Amino acid sequence: MTRKSLPTNITRKLWSQCGGYCQRPDCNKLLFAESGGKNVSLANVAHIIGHGADGPRSEHELAEQIDKDGFDNLIMLCLACHKIIDELQSQYPVEEILTWKTQHAEKISALFTSPKFPDEDHLLQAVNDLLEENRTIFEEYGPYSDLVINSDSGDALETWRLRSLDTLIPNNRKIINLIESSKYKYGYPWEPYKQMLRYKMHADAFQDNCLSDKKISEYKTFPIEFDHFIKAKLGIPTPSIEAIKDEELEFRHNQIQTFIKRFLGNHNYISKLEELNKSTMIVDLLDGRMLKVFVTNTYYFTEHTLDKVTEIDPGIDAIICSCPSGQYAPSAKALCIQKGIGLFMLGEFMGAIRLTGEKYLNYLTSGDRKTRIERLGGAVQALRPAAGTEVYLFGSYLRQKSHNDIDIMIVYKDAAAKAAMIALEAGLRGCTRYEDEALDITIASKDEFAKLRLDQDNLTRAFP
């Protein structure tokens, strides 16, 4: 049975308390690692008292009273520490783990204790300094920066993600703490506090989108008004809000057009590109097809976004999500396939246009396929399967972007290893990497596996 997903507010609070580090005190490992130029999450949300009668520490007196999926029963650990405390549960009682969590949270909180300022101007200067640092990072490394637009690899976006984690998120929290801790010092109501509330909504959404696999549909973008207010309050010359917004929109449009034309302008399957307006273009293909393509810079494209696009132009054939660090919701992809509309990231569009029908609409890049295989391999390795175990992927998960379920084949070496396969299956089903996925797991011996025949033979080994 697939375990229910944790609510966003609980996930947000867990990340906030752990600060991006394992909460076991003799570990404190950063919950992100870089491998092959890509940033990988090592985070595991661990249950202090496990589910079921046989779950870790389930004999504790609180087991029948506590909400197993509530914040108080969860702790953020790395993969290794999660496995250690569950397999050696007698060595790690409930009370000790709760102490880890409390002490770690106190250390993180102490990092953001607000300094003392002689007056309001000095406080707002500190806020402005943090805003300027964030602005500089966004301009240099952000999704619309020259570094990202002109990069041929994914390194620029990885740099943006790292700077988001190690600088932008901590700076956002510092700004919020500085103002919240001073809201009664300079009269009530205090206008900087009121202005900061929209900024706080943005900061929460930004943190969720950086740290959680569950993206926020209506992503709260940076409120220009807050930055403008702080600068005006300090007497720093700044253009009007309207001028700033217009300049930003024009800049993003120009950057997106540069990005699109750079990759599609010389595509050897495109015979002609014609821009109809800032959002729409006609793409003529060598096979005679003509696609009316809508280009959006939405950070996270959802079914709601699709409704807005089709209201603007019901005749759209394809949609390109052009924000290099953006993505689309799986539900939006599935709905577009039903409607016969292609929904793609730019890289997907470049490959998909060579195909037609279902293969075009549901195109899976070789990079995404490789990531899916590596993802399962990493999950299996973390569970330390018995020697001789082999794990395979097959089915629509390796053929299509939008899939029905994940087909997994576990092959055991001999009869002595068969019992361990049940534990491996349970471990995969309980893995947070697949908590929102339907897993179809088959367990077979080596002899059974040798006789296996598949309708569409795309069986691929993920482990070892």
| Dist. CA 79–CA 384, nearest whole Å | 11
To the nearest 10 degrees (0 to 180), the angle between helices 8-18 and 94-111 is 70
pLDDT digits over 157-214, tens only? 778 888 888 889 889 999 999 999 898 898 889 999 999 999 999 998 888 777 765 5
The type of residue at 245 is K
Q: Give residue for tokens 């999950």.
A: 379
Asked if 298 and 326 count as a contact pair (C-beta separation under 8 A), the reply is yes
Closest C-alpha to 50, from 12, 7, 100, 87: 87
The 10s digit of each residue's pLDDT in 195-205 is 999 999 999 88
At 115, list the tokens: 């300094």
The answer to pTM > 0.95 is no
Residue 112: predicted pLDDT: 65
Task: For the chain, state the CA radius of gyration.
Answer: 25
- Give the pLDDT band of residue 455 (cuts 50, 70, 90): low
Average pLDDT rounded to a whole number, residues 409-415: 88
Domain 366-463 classification at class level: alpha beta
pLDDT bucket at 1, cuts 50 / 70 / 90:
very low
Question: Which of 42-56, 192-206, 449-463 is the most confident on average?
Answer: 192-206
Residue-wise pLDDT tens digits, 345-371: 988 999 999 999 999 999 999 888 998
Cα-flanking dihedrals φ and ψ of residue 113, to 5°? -60, 125
pLDDT higher than threshold 90 for residue 131: yes
Write down the pLDDT at residue 2.
Answer: 44
Q: What percent of the chain has pLDDT over 70?
A: 91
Query: In the chain, where are the structural domains located?
Result: 8-111, 120-238, 250-361, 366-463
Residue-level pLDDT at 166: 82
Q: What is the Cα–Cα distance from 19 to 169, expressed in whole angstroms?
A: 10
Least confident of 95-104, 126-135, 139-148: 139-148
